[in-house]
Amino acid sequence: MSRFMEKKILAVLLDSYERSRLFREGDSARRIQFRPMEREEFAELAEQSDARREFLDTAEELAAEGLIEYDWVRYEEGNLIDRIFLRTEEAAVRQSYLRIGRVRKQAQLDVLESQVQAALFRIEAAFQKIEGKGDEKITAWLRAALEEIRCKRRIPRLFFKGEKDPESEKTAEEKNNRLLQFLELLAGNEDELLERVVSTRLYGDSKYFERELRSKVLSVLRRIEEDGYAEELNGEELLGRYGIVRWPEILEFTGPVVAMLDGGDGSLRKIDYRDEVYGAYINSDTVRHLTGVRMNGVSRILTIENKANYISYINGMMAADELVIYHGGCYSPIKGRWLRLIAEEAEKGKIQVFHWSDIDLGGFRIFVRLRDEIFSSLRPYKMDLETLEKYGARCMPIDDQNYLDTLAGLEAKPEYEVFYEVIRKMSSEKIRLEQEAEIV
């Protein structure tokens, strides 16, 4: 029997079997089959007498061993095979996989199911200890993956898949395990972690994450971010949203703020930023040790998305009783901790809080996240119809229909109600406004 030929025949049948209702549900009236003459690689054999004989002998021997059955083309018995069927009894299927050295798909699914289930268990166990839930988007995605494995009998798209041979499947198993390790870390992370330090800690290789997992993790994160904003972030920004950074974060602000710092020896220290009228900075290590902030004399807080607008504002428009914060495109866990300390003090003092972003999808989403998660009474600044019309000549055209459809869809979401009027104008005129256009 030709090993090459038997592998070609059984591989086609097993591919069909793994896609079948019989495999997914365990019951189907349809048989697993294929027509050799309808496949180019087999049809060519009919034109070569030696190859045709090799094919027929192999089919005959596989049938004799109870792995396949076949029918002859009418009037061509002993010469041309019409259809080849896979014997689907459990023993026959198992033997077919063994004959060609292929890993059973069910075995692959069983391994991945146990891996995902174990990851979920560890995430949930870890957060029971601290009475938290972890990142629910990550755990929800893992539960959906588990459901897909169990009910649809297939490997979810964003997991690694082997090439059906044992060595390749082993590699995929190892990579999936490492992918799940990283997602577990993200699910519970509320700190700032350096990307290469994490890679060394988890995998013993400072560049393993960047080399083998980064693109896959980013695809997962873009999939689970329901608001779609993740599509507009680059890789560093998206990982930063989950606290994974290349370098320690520096947070920028300007205003009469006094930070209360745990000195580490039981003492309480104060850092007075009131005299830093040209811009102040605080690093992530300092934020970790903050116990609170004081804002005597602050009557308004303004967070600004764009760096150029932040610099322009503090250099020419800022009032003495304002606290102005450079927000950036999204906030990380560390920046979130800093903003929450400010929010607590603002609420105590009943200080008004505003946010200034681009008048576009990203800007609206930044505002809603900041309001829903940090500043509950947040108001938009220069993100209205009047501003859009004032700088109409500097607006950017919207050429993407998907963008326009998503924009229009915001009108059905009550959390975006504050922007309904400007959204309607943007949709009708097909325009958006970037912040920088307001300072040119």
Q: Is the pTM of the predicted complex or chain greater than 0.85?
A: no
Quick one: 87 and 32 in the same domain? yes
**Structural domain span for residue 337:** 250-438
Quick one: 161 and 54 in the same domain? no
Quick one: 373 and 391 in the same domain? yes
What 3-state class would DSSP assign to 397?
strand
Q: Angle 361-373/401-409 helices, nearest 10 degrees?
A: 30
Quick one: 406 and 302 in the same domain? yes
Quick one: 162 and 259 in the same domain? no
* Boundary of a domain, candidates 207, 224, 245: 245
Quick one: 134 and 270 in the same domain? no
Quick one: 329 and 256 in the same domain? yes
Q: Alpha helices, DSSP H only, in 130-165?
A: 136-152
Query: What pLDDT score does 132 carry?
Result: 47
Q: Alpha helices, DSSP H only, in 154-253?
A: 166-188, 195-203, 208, 214-224, 235-241
The count of domains in the chain is: 3
Per-residue pLDDT of the chain (440 residues), as tens digits, is 578 889 999 999 999 999 898 998 887 778 999 999 888 888 877 778 788 889 999 999 999 999 999 999 998 898 889 999 999 999 999 999 999 989 998 899 999 999 999 999 998 887 665 444 456 889 999 999 999 999 989 999 999 998 878 888 899 999 999 999 999 999 888 888 999 999 999 999 999 999 999 999 999 998 887 655 666 678 888 899 899 999 888 999 999 999 999 877 777 889 999 889 889 999 998 998 999 999 988 999 999 999 999 999 999 899 999 999 999 877 888 999 999 999 999 999 899 999 999 999 999 999 999 999 999 999 999 999 999 999 999 999 999 999 999 999 999 999 999 999 999 999 999 999 999 999 86
Quick one: 209 and 280 in the same domain? no
Strands 258-262 and 268-272: antiparallel
Quick one: 217 and 231 in the same domain? yes
What 3-state class would DSSP assign to 260?
strand
Quick one: 112 and 155 in the same domain? yes
* Boundary of a domain, candidates 79, 99, 119: 99
Quick one: 94 and 133 in the same domain? no
CATH number at residue 387: 3.40.1360.10
CATH number at residue 76: 1.10.10
Quick one: 234 and 294 in the same domain? no
Give the residue from 301, 313, 406, 325 showing the smallest Cα distance to 360.
406
* Boundary of a domain, candidates 99, 119, 141: 99
